[in-house]
Structures are given as C-alpha cells and as structure tokens.
Chain A
C-alpha cells in the first residue's frame, strides 16, 4: 500500500494511474447515464422505465453492454471501412480526454494545466471530426446529411461557446480550471453564474448544441434522417458512439459546474465537507445533467436554418455585449 502511494508521487505514473481512474469513471458514467436517461424519460412519460433486470432495474446497463458486446459488428457493403471503424474512436477519445483537466476536488485533478480552458475548447472541437468521419465512411445519404449538419452545427456553436467562456477568464485572470473554482469562493452568491448570467445561459445552450442534445439533435434527427451519422452502426461501434455522446454530455455539465457554479465549492461556508467536497461537484454535475435530460424529453427539435439563426444572430451578439459589460465593470470597480 505504502509503495503504491509512493508511486503516486512519481509524475508520469501518477498521471497514468489517475487518467486510468478517470477513464474507468467515464465509461461507467456513460452506462449509468443511459439508465438515468431511460428512467427520467419513463417518469416524464408516465411510465416506469426499465425495472426488470436486478433491483428496480438497476442492472439494465450491464445487460445492455453484454448484449452490445455479443452483437455482430455490421458495416455497410461499400463503406470506407477504416474511416467507418475509426469514427467512434475519434468521437470517444476527445470526450474522455477533456476529463483530464476537470477538477473534482482541490487536489483531485489529473493534470492542472495552466491552459486548461484552451485545452477544453480545443479537444471538444475535435469531436466534430468523428461525426464527419462517421457520415462519410457509412456511404449513405442519411449519414452524409447528418454529418454535414453535425459539422456545421458544432463549428458554429463553438463560437458562442468560446465567447461565453471569456467573461470567466477575464474575471479570474487565469486559464486554469482550478484557479477558476478557487476564485469563485465558497458562497453561492459569489459564483460566476450570477454576474455572468447571460454568459452562463449562452454556455448552457451552446453546450447543449455541442453535445447534440434535443432541441439541437439535428445530426441524429431520428424522425427525419433516422439516426443521421450513426444510422449504419451496430453492436460495439454503436455503443462507443453512445458512450461518447453521454461522456461529452457529462463533461459539458462538469465544465459548466466548474466555470459558473463553483466547482467543488459548497454553497454556504458551514456546509464545507473538507476532503469530501467532491460530493458537491457530483451533486451539481448531476443536477445539470438532469436538466439536459429534462429538456430532451420536453421540447421538439429546431430546424437547421433556425439553429444557425439562433447561434449567429442571438447567442454571439449576447456574448459580445456581455463581454463589453464585463470589461467595463472591471474597469470601473
């Protein structure tokens, strides 16, 4: 035990072990989230959701994973096989990699980069590559349309996403996520979502679009293009795409919490749990993810032109104006 703890002091080994732990967490999170999604949708739909496998259906994700592992991996006859098979991996790796910079608790972060926000922005935009690869490799009109939509959507929503981060960066004066959390303090009214409310809302909406959730799930659009870029996938490749989607949804929630809702900080000073402050991080992230799912089952889907309108004509101006407001306020006070 002691030798293991000593090993954790050695830098590359600590990085590898902690990244392994985070990867394990992400994969399990994706499985738990599929379960949560189905339960939440069930209760919104006035039905039970999965309740057969294990106590209250809790083992359903395990059964799902077992089924997906045992399925044959079918690829379309004239598909571009390497691109087709590479796409799920190209989607999953960025989604898992962003977790490296997310601080779970004061010292619990895989790598406290001093450019963590830049890292987050750079890595999430790689996700669009996987979507395009999937659409191109499948050789299907539905997939191609989905991929084109996905690329257009993810690239244009990257802009308000980045702009809405800048307010926080200006207030903190640092690109490190640990600094951002520490600067927010341990009371609910000093967290950035209050002074940066328009930015918080913009980040939330752009984040929804970035992870392709309803009302921005046009790349999937199951009622018009059936499943978009993932229509030809089955078995484990499909499971990997799903895992990537849920992992990126979780990471967007986690980053939202880190940037605007105080990360691991307790809402009031006397609620400080000391070494267990990661519980606060978990609760906040789960709440944000719940709102994602709540929206998912409550509203219809936008159309491509309306989506672009919203991004460029509403979100970008809002963030630019609030950037000026923030800068002015910082000059005055």
Chain B
C-alpha cells in the first residue's frame, strides 16, 4: 500500500511518548523560554459545546491544558429537588443531549429501585430498542465530529443524514425529535405505533447496506486520517482506569467494561452481543470501537424487534409516586460511558436529592493528563476520543 513505509517511519518517530517533546522546566528557566497563553473556547467553532481550554503553548506544542467548565450550568440537580418524581424526567432529557433516552432510562431505573414496581416486558424491550437507536444516533455523529475536527467537512453531513432518519423514527414514536420524555417511571409513555417496527426494520436494513461504504471505507484507510489519529492521545489501561474513564474511551485501551454486561439491567441479559475492545488506546482505536459498537447496536435492535412480546407498556405505579424513605440507584451504559443516577427520598413526593454521574464530566479529566506534549492540532482529535457533550458535563 502506498505510504506503508512512511507510516512505519512515522510510527517509529512517535513511539516515544509525546511528553518527550516537552522542554524540562530547568532548561526553560535557564534560557528564559516563555510560553504563549491561549484561551480556546468557550466560543470556539470546533469545540465540543461550551468548553474552554486554557492552554500554554510552546510554539505548537501544548505545555499545559486546563479545561474550564460551567458555561452551560443549569442547576438541574437542584431543580429536581423541587419537582415531583415524574416531572424530573424532562429535565434529564436536557443533560447529555446526544443520549436523551439513556438519561431518562437511568433516572427511571433509579426511581424504580426505590419503588419496587414491576415493569411489563414489552416496555423493557421498547426501552432497549430506543436506547440502542439512540446509541446509533450518537455514535455515528461522533465519528462525523472526529472527522470534522481533523478538517474533513463531508463525513459530518453523511452522519447527520443518519441521525435525521433516526430522529424521524423517534418523532413518530415519542412526538419529539430530541427532548422525548418517553421512558416513564414504570414503563414507557405509549406503545409503538403499529407501522413503526416495520419502519425501524427497513431503516436498519438500509443502514447496514451502506454503513461500511459511508463510514468505514471512506475513512479508515485514508493516509491523512491514519497519520493524524494513530498514536495520538495514547493512554495506558492504568491511566484510563485511574481517571475513572468509561465508555469507548476506556474500551479502546483494552478494558472490557460495559455496564450492559457487568451490571446487567433491563433485558440485556436476554440479548446476544459482545463488548468491543481495542488495544491501541489512541484516537484511531476509539474510532474503531465506535464503528464496531454501531454494528453491535444494529444487531441488538434487530433482536429486540424479533423478540418483542405483546402486552402492556406501563406498570402500576399508583396515582402519585411517593416512595418510602431510602436511596435508589440506576446505572446505564450511555454512548459516552457509565451514566448513573442516585436518588435519595425522604418519603415526600419530591426527591430529597438527585445526583447524576455523567460520563462526559468524568472522561474530561483525560484532557489534563494526556494533552500536554501533543501539538495544538492534536487537541481536536483527542476531544473526538473523549467525545464530551456540554449538556452532560455541566448539568
């Protein structure tokens, strides 16, 4: 293949860790070397949402990278304390706005943990079906974002074409394209419209037919893509585990941690799928993991549609939801990692305290750790590896 030799040479140059590009502080003091301070964001066109990075640059090399959050803080945890239990669900929609279904699911699991309500099997299947569609609608654009950050504008439009189609399905099912309010405590809001399973099936078939062409063949073998992503943002398993990273960013280092299998919830134990891992732990590996997870999601959606039982979609929760005093916990595997909700009840009809553990927030710690030593243009692909969503980290 053209350029294979050069790639090997390039890899040889990069086997030394990027931190070796940093000038040691002694030399810096001795020669009076200065760095440029640069504030990247919060209004940066390519930054993921409202994130500000305070960078110290030595030429093109990043010496220090401090993420500053809080530009999208909306006090969702505090507002939740003053709302009745079902009325918190629309708030969770607004957290990680690329994984709304997972947010709702996590919250409902936590409250159901307090309530001991029985959820009808059809509702469980619909929940998983919707969550896996949501995962597709999040992973495919995040591949597009990665390419956009590398300077290729076209893949993002192909990705958003897929997301639009999935959103149309959501619109038909829930009545909304983004803020669904569909998964409720005890089940789901309404049954699927009669023609929708057929439509989802058709869409998934068509996606399968051109997924390889649009998102793998166009991207994976591209010389520039490989040279920009291989060995960029490289981290070890230990680093990733220590920093509490979850999701594709963790799995691309080789740790097969997936809430769906390790802490099974809903009907995932009944479905056939595997956890995708990669060993490289760089941006390219995270891209490969996302691609493989999309294929897993496609298979999960098909299984859900095939096995879906008939019956009710809402369990009996009583007219007012007023759990006993205690604590409830729910965790789901959102597209970005482990999304967990902790609800504390004081016996009234509003929660005493709600806390969200959002993967965007926890994965963000990676930046401070792995960015120094990389070049300035490498920050963007590393953001694509972490793939944070500002609604998620700011709550």
Report B41-72 CB contacts with A as 1/0, cut-off 8 Å.
00011100000000001001000000000000
Within A1-58, which residues are at the interface with B (CB < 8 Å)?
41, 44-47
Q: How far is the CB of B45 from chain A (nearest CB, A)?
A: 6
Task: List the B side residues contacting A41 at CB < 8 Å.
Answer: 153
Establish whether residues A45 and B154, one from each chain, have CB atoms under 8 Å apart when the complex forms: yes
Report A291-307 CB contacts with B as 1/0, cut-off 8 Å.
00000011111111110
Choose the segment among B166-174, B351-359, B375-383 that binds chain A (4+ C-beta atoms closer than 8 Å): B375-383
Within B352-393, which residues are at the interface with A (CB < 8 Å)?
375-380
Task: List the B side residues contacting A314 at CB < 8 Å.
Answer: 6
- Complex CA gap A303/B380 in Å reads 12
Establish whether residues B45 and A301, one from each chain, have CB atoms under 8 Å apart when the complex forms: no
A302-B224, A306-B227 known; A145+B376 contact, CB < 8 A: yes
- Complex CA gap A145/B37 in Å reads 12
From the candidates A218, A222, A302, name the one contacting B227 in the complex (CB within 8 A). Answer: A302
- Complex CA gap A223/B146 in Å reads 11
Task: List the B side residues contacting A221 at CB < 8 Å.
Answer: 151, 377
* Nearest B residue to A302, CB-CB: B224
Establish whether residues A305 and B375, one from each chain, have CB atoms under 8 Å apart when the complex forms: yes
Residue from A144, A225, A300, A314 having most chain B Cβ neighbours under 10 A? A300
Establish whether residues B38 and A141, one from each chain, have CB atoms under 8 Å apart when the complex forms: yes
From the candidates A47, A300, A304, A305, name the one contacting B152 in the complex (CB within 8 A). Answer: A300
From the candidates A145, A222, A300, name the one contacting B147 in the complex (CB within 8 A). Answer: A300
In this assembly, does A107 line the interface, its C-beta being within 8 Å of a C-beta of chain B?
A: no
Establish whether residues A46 and B157, one from each chain, have CB atoms under 8 Å apart when the complex forms: yes
* Nearest A residue to B153, CB-CB: A297
Establish whether residues A297 and B154, one from each chain, have CB atoms under 8 Å apart when the complex forms: yes
In this assembly, does A226 line the interface, its C-beta being within 8 Å of a C-beta of chain B?
A: yes
Q: How far is the CB of B67 from chain A (nearest CB, A)?
A: 16
* Nearest A residue to B160, CB-CB: A45
Task: List the A side residues contacting B46 at CB < 8 Å.
Answer: 222-224, 226
The number of residue pairs between A and B whose CB atoms lie closer than 8 Å in the complex comes to: 85
From the candidates A145, A223, A305, name the one contacting B149 in the complex (CB within 8 A). Answer: A223
Establish whether residues B158 and A215, one from each chain, have CB atoms under 8 Å apart when the complex forms: no
In this assembly, does B220 line the interface, its C-beta being within 8 Å of a C-beta of chain A?
A: no
Establish whether residues B148 and A298, one from each chain, have CB atoms under 8 Å apart when the complex forms: no
Establish whether residues B152 and A299, one from each chain, have CB atoms under 8 Å apart when the complex forms: yes
Report A132-160 CB contacts with B as 1/0, cut-off 8 Å.
00000000011011000100000000000
Within A203-237, which residues are at the interface with B (CB < 8 Å)?
214-215, 217-218, 221-226
Q: How far is the CB of A14 from chain B (nearest CB, A)?
A: 45
* Nearest B residue to A44, CB-CB: B154
Q: How far is the CB of A150 from chain B (nearest CB, A)?
A: 13
Establish whether residues A299 and B380, one from each chain, have CB atoms under 8 Å apart when the complex forms: no
Establish whether residues B380 and A223, one from each chain, have CB atoms under 8 Å apart when the complex forms: yes
In this assembly, does B212 line the interface, its C-beta being within 8 Å of a C-beta of chain A?
A: no
Establish whether residues A215 and B224, one from each chain, have CB atoms under 8 Å apart when the complex forms: yes
Task: List the A side residues contacting B227 at CB < 8 Å.
Answer: 302-303, 306
A41-B153, A222-B46, A224-B377 known; A302+B36 contact, CB < 8 A: no
* Nearest A residue to B156, CB-CB: A45
A45-B157, A46-B161, A224-B380 known; A304+B375 contact, CB < 8 A: yes
Task: List the B side residues contacting A303 at CB < 8 Å.
Answer: 227-228, 375, 377-378
- Complex CA gap A47/B157 in Å reads 9
Establish whether residues B45 and A215, one from each chain, have CB atoms under 8 Å apart when the complex forms: no
Establish whether residues A223 and B150, one from each chain, have CB atoms under 8 Å apart when the complex forms: yes
Report B4-27 CB contacts with A as 1/0, cut-off 8 Å.
001000100000000000000000
Report B317-343 CB contacts with A as 1/0, cut-off 8 Å.
000000000000000000000000000
In this assembly, does B239 line the interface, its C-beta being within 8 Å of a C-beta of chain A?
A: no
Task: List the B side residues contacting A46 at CB < 8 Å.
Answer: 157-158, 161
In this assembly, does B348 line the interface, its C-beta being within 8 Å of a C-beta of chain A?
A: no
A145-B376, A224-B377, A224-B379 known; A298+B149 contact, CB < 8 A: no
Q: How far is the CB of A79 from chain B (nearest CB, A)?
A: 17
Taking Cβ atoms with an 8 Å cutoff, the residues of A that contact B are 41, 44-47, 141-142, 144-145, 149, 214-215, 217-218, 221-226, 297-306, 309, 314
28 residue pairs of the A-B complex, CB under 8 angstroms, read A44-B154, A45-B154, A45-B157, A46-B157, A46-B161, A47-B157, A145-B60, A214-B151, A215-B151, A222-B46, A223-B151, A224-B46, A224-B379, A226-B45, A226-B46, A297-B154, A299-B222, A299-B224, A300-B150, A300-B151, A300-B224, A300-B225, A301-B152, A303-B228, A304-B375, A306-B10, A306-B227, A314-B6
